[in-house]
Structure 1
Amino acid sequence: MPTHPSARVQQAREALASRLRELRLDAGITARELAIRCQWSESKSSRIEHAKTPPSDADIGAWCRACEAEGQTADLIAANRHADAMYVEWRRLQCGGLRQLQESGAGLYRRTQLFRVYCSNVVPGFLQGPGYATALMSSSAAFRGTPDDVSEAVAARMERSRVVHEGGHRFAVLVEEAVLRYRIGDADTMAAQLGSLLSAIALPSVSLGVIPFNVSRSMWPLETFTIFDDLQVHTDSLTAAVTLTQPTEVALYARAFEELARLAVHGSEARALITAALGTLDD
């Protein structure tokens, strides 16, 4: 059963506290000595080590200096920020409607030069056609009971997706073959969407790979995720949109993407799988 996001936040805070305590122990100093070096109370050190009080970025910098471990500062600060804002509940994101959710990511899309996208369940947003996006967002709005502004949200998604054609951006996309077979909308909607994917293969900015059903897997199917340059990862669950910025976590997702890419087929083989999926729509 998936861990609830709030529990994951607490786990992240406890993991950070444990890492800070290990730094102090590795430095061979007591909590009192650390407090003296940091010029704060011993009780503050204890609260931080026991995950009772979240440290500030400045606290982490002082802690690392006191332990002569300045090389750990950036990673620990990123972990701290991740613990505070590792997820945003979908209910909060969508309370203003789906259009606002689409528009909120436009700036990040414009800034990003390299997108690495893995999708195990639906077509990536920036490769979705209007019909497919409408069917998907309509079902999402109905399920979550959010404001019905699907038409405006689809228009915002189409506007955001223009980055594929603008230049200055590269898209490395991997989809499981199941994405081609899951029927979002009716047969005509899926036919149009699969046709759009065939066209996307020819785009100079897009590398589209499909991971076949029958491939011998060295990497299991994962949740859908997007890596924006080497700066952050977005992944979605049913209840939360998760943003990861800790360098070690971003690197782990980048490694997973590389492993999944080795399983994918591209070019004519990818086209054949998409065409085969098209052929099943009349079944």
Structure 2
Amino acid sequence: MIKPSFKLSLAFILSPFALQANDASKLDGPQLMNRYAETQTVDAELAFIELKTFETETPTENIIKKRLLAVTRKDGNGGYDYLIRLLVPKDVEGVSVLTNVNNGNTDQYLYLPAQGKPVQIGTGMSGNFLGSDFAYEDLIRETPSNYNYERLPDAVAQGEVCAVILAKPSEVEGSQYAYRKIYLDPISFEVRKIEFFSEDGSDPVKELQAYEYRSPNVDGSTVRPRFAVMTNLETGTISVFKVLKSRLNLPLDEALFTSDNLPNISESDINGLLVEVDAVGSH
């Protein structure tokens, strides 16, 4: 499904920001989150990612590592499409999650090869992705039109003073979280930490830490952090997304992002994507 006559456009173009920390102090919650959204705005990205979930006492040799392709593209209507396709281990090969976001509306589909057809994930997007600590809704990019934002007093994350934003879903039934606290770097506007709160709102139930933006250890370019570490504060389990390789602005076939076509994505299609990201033989 790769269109070789085009350049791959599924990437995120980083925009340099000249604002200093004292300028960020003048921005309110919605303005800060719009700045963050700008750091994630790209035409397309193709990323080769490792996912592992474990408990702190789990021996390293017992940790199962999954490999996946994360394919994102900006559509012509201001929305975006996001496909996650599992590669290994064998028992999850072909499992896919497709997200279509347009005009603030989000449609998400889960495809299990054994079932033969995709199933739409309902409102609230309950459940976790492949037994990890990432909920299905955690896989969706921040869509400012779906949230109400309020700036809170600055606080420290990863040893740095960050702007803190309270994010509440504009539709209560659209999220399994009552609210989140998002910690943004006041200069780069990149996420450093997110705390997730349930309905009682007393203590966070999960915490996401993001590390190493623009890391030289990633093969290629990405707007993602190299590491996204989600800790379930109730169970003590930890899930880590690690970007291994990434390419920006490659052209991708629109059919990749159509729910009805998920069962038709072939091994040849996947191999073509692996060639583009130079990951043949890496999975």
Q: Is this a same-fold pair by TM over 0.5?
A: no
State the TM-score, normalizing by the size of structure 1: 0.23
Task: Name whichever structure is richer in helix by fraction.
Answer: 1
Q: Which has the higher contact order (CA 8 A, sep 6+)?
A: 2
Task: Name whichever structure is richer in strand by fraction.
Answer: 2
